[in-house]
Amino acid sequence: MKITSARTESFSAIRRRALTEAAGPAVTRAVVAADKAGFLGLGEDDLTPQVQAALKTLMVEIDDLRAEVGRLKFKLNEAQGLADMDVLAPVLNRRAFLREIKRVAAFAQRYGSPASLVFFDLDGFKSVNDRFGHAAGDEALKAVAERLLANVRETDVVGRIGGDEFAVLLVQADQQTASAKADTLAAAVSGTPVQFGEWSAPLHISYGVREIEPGADPEVALAEADASMFLRKRTRKEA
């Protein structure tokens, strides 16, 4: 006779399982309790009513602890998400954005996938604050963030670097592709004035583009994109 598989259960375990399946759900629950007790180092003779009650209480407390751990993990993830967001605009703050640059640069180093940074700076933003007030300036910054978000892919990342400076991390985009996208984003930001009650103010924006070197330092990559923006702005003024 050919043996197709080896028996891994003891004879007593097989007998107990067969008896409980024949006896019905009530006995099955008792056997499950006994199995759990065995796991805790208790034998069947130790399962007095008091011990069974204590085991039931213990299992309930374990379930409650698991649920509490789940709730705490959710709150922790939520808090971490909030810590990554800018205090004003619905985009990442500088710290979180730099972390994303590091992640993408590491991915580029490993897989040779291109990625680029676009650094944006609002031109003449001080005049918006001076003329309309800081509340209006805040609304202008929110508008810039929302327009950038509305015109990028879900895989791209938008961040507020500080003040009136924003940056967009474009994945799977080389220098040429990113430059074309930067033109589109700049047009989306400056195409419509921002409304402040009865008043409106146009938005003017400058940008610089820098392809991210594989494994690049995030601060260096951001500084290079900033320098590209500054050079582009100065060249435009001199023209």
Catalytic residue annotation: 164
3-state secondary structure the chain: CCCCCCCCCCHHHHHHHHHHHHHCHHHHHHHHHHHHHHHCCCCHHHCCHHHHHHHHHHHHHHHHHHHHHHHHHHHHHHHHHHHHECCCCCCECHHHHHHHHHHHHHHHHHHCCCEEEEEEEEECHHHHHHHHCHHHHHHHHHHHHHHHHHCCCCCCEEEEEECCEEEEEEECCCHHHHHHHHHHHHHHHHCCCEEECCEEECCEEEEEEEECCCCCCHHHHHHHHHHHHHHHHHHHHHC
